[in-house]
Amino acid sequence: MMSKKHEMNLVDSVVAAGLCTGCGLCEGLSAVGEISMQLSPLGYLRPKVGGEVSSAVEAEIKACCPGVEVAHEKSVEHYNVNWGALRGVKVGYAVDSYVRHMGSSGGVLSALCIHLLESKAVDFVAHIAVSQTDPIANELQLSRTRDDVIRAAGSRYAPSAPLRTLKALLATGERFAFLGKPCDVAALRAYMRLHTSVRDQIPYLLSFMCAGIPSHHGTTELVRAMGADPDQLASFRYRGDGWPGVARAVQRDGEAFEMDYNRSWGGILGKHLQFRCKICADGTGELADIVCADAWYGKDGYPDFEERAGRSLVLARTEAGQAFVNRAEADRSIVTEDIAVDEIAAMQPYQLDRKRLAASRGFATLLARGRTTKYRRLGLRDATLQAGLIGSLRNVWGTYRRAVGEPHLSYQKPESK
Ligand SMILES: Cc1cc2nc3c(=O)[nH]c(=O)nc-3n(C[C@H](O)[C@H](O)[C@H](O)COP(=O)(O)OP(=O)(O)OC[C@H]3O[C@@H](n4cnc5c(N)ncnc54)[C@H](O)[C@@H]3O)c2cc1C
């Protein structure tokens, strides 16, 4: 099947190998109607190529698509092989207690967005929020006020393609910050390398650590497991409104259903991740200026999900990111304290494993599917050495089996049970 790869256009071959992240950049770079993001039968957002894509656009996609490559431009200062560039390592929370409460962890990302808007550093923030029309769908929101930002607060564990209107965002001529998944940010950073003129227009790229995108079907399974009807929802949130907060579905008849984070993510959503996320070497958002994550408290060496006041891990990666965190702290938007780099591993053990095993998983994907995502200057060789031979071999074999067996084509139907 993979021998067909050479006959396919680039976008289709990335999708066919299961390497598409669903960021939407290819649609964002193409002319109207050439490529459009659609929900595949497997419940992921995938590009559908509807017309001939010009060679110039295809070259741009090749240079920026995070299914093709994720790369640092040059070797990066303050680089930690497990966690990427670290100019500031902090834990903290939004000073505004409502923002802290509505945020996924400590509400720091939302507080930073509000600070950017209120200080007029940007005209809007481009980020994902719940769809205006469908409580279990995501869409890009251009936030211009505190209320807009709060509407988008909280993690939405479902497909999102925030870059599908990139050209239109740039055409506004306004300055904006972009907040998205690590793969979205990697794609935009690559685009900004190609088009240096837009760097001033997008002064900040913000991200969060990401364990992967679950299928849309994961959400419908979750809603049903909560006892609600996915077709009767008035609202739905995955978490936030506390830390970690509960998944909460409210039906149009007013009946409300809840499930705790451990069961919703661990029991259901985490089992629906797209293949590309399982081999990702950049779960920690290395290309962003600032990355936030859950600053979990540990119990017996593992994060425990007891309900508490929210706390975010805050990593400043670039000079601009570090200066902005300092400014937000000085202006009392966020409160933070420094922590030692070694403490990150106890909060994010899953991300540590992913980085160390990513090269083995990528190699297995190349063997099984004839293509894999390239990671350049992300220190994968040194990270792999930390994983040890047995762990690496086990992951090559496990991923190989999965890559051969798992349905991955864009419009292939799941195998019938
Ligand atoms: C799919 C997914 C996987 C995650 N995996 C991890 C993980 O492994 N470890 C970890 O510590 N944290 C993970 N997070 C992030 C975490 O849940 C918090 O978002 C993070 O701690 C920041 O919290 P906050 O309170 O500062 O963010 P908030 O103030 O709540 O802001 C969150 C921002 O995330 C954006 N957002 C939400 N959902 C999406 C989406 N689907 N696509 C793009 N942008 C979105 C919103 O636009 C919002 O502005 C994940 C989030 C998502 C969406």
CB distance 240 to ligand 1 below 6 Å: yes
- The domain spans of the chain are 79-214+271-349, 216-270
Report CA(311)–ligand 1 centroid distance (Å): 13
**pTM exceeds 0.85, yes or no:** yes
CB distance 103 to ligand 1 below 6 Å: yes
CB distance 179 to ligand 1 below 6 Å: yes
CB distance 138 to ligand 1 below 6 Å: yes
Residue identifier of the C-alpha nearest atom 33 of ligand 1: 153
Provide Rg for the chain, Cα atoms: 20
CB distance 156 to ligand 1 below 6 Å: yes
CB distance 209 to ligand 1 below 6 Å: yes
Residue identifier of the C-alpha nearest atom 39 of ligand 1: 156
Report CA(291)–ligand 1 centroid distance (Å): 10
Report CA(213)–ligand 1 centroid distance (Å): 11
Q: For 196-228, how does the pLDDT look when each residue is reduced to its tens digit (9 = 90+)?
A: 999 999 999 999 999 999 999 999 999 999 999
Q: Choose which residue among 21, 104, 276, 297 to substitute to test ligand 1 binding: the one with the highest number of ligand atoms within 8 A of its C-beta.
A: 104
Report CA(186)–ligand 1 centroid distance (Å): 16
Residue 296 CA, closest ligand 1 atom number: 11
Per-residue pLDDT of the chain (417 residues; tens, 9 = 90+): 444 444 689 999 999 999 999 999 999 999 988 999 999 999 999 999 998 889 999 999 999 999 999 999 988 999 999 999 999 999 999 999 999 999 999 999 999 999 999 999 999 999 999 999 999 999 999 999 999 999 999 999 999 999 999 999 999 999 999 999 999 999 999 999 999 999 999 999 999 999 999 999 999 999 999 999 999 999 999 997 889 999 999 999 999 999 999 999 999 999 999 999 999 999 999 999 999 999 999 876 677 888 889 999 999 999 999 999 999 999 999 999 999 999 999 999 999 999 999 999 999 999 999 999 999 999 999 999 999 999 999 999 999 999 998 776 544 444 333
Residue 149 CA, closest ligand 1 atom number: 49
Burial track 261-287 (b if 16+ CB lie within 10 A, e otherwise): bebbbeebbeebbbbbbbbbbbbbbbb
CB distance 328 to ligand 1 below 6 Å: no
Residue identifier of the C-alpha nearest atom 9 of ligand 1: 209
Whether domain 79-214+271-349 has CATH 3.40.640: the reply is yes
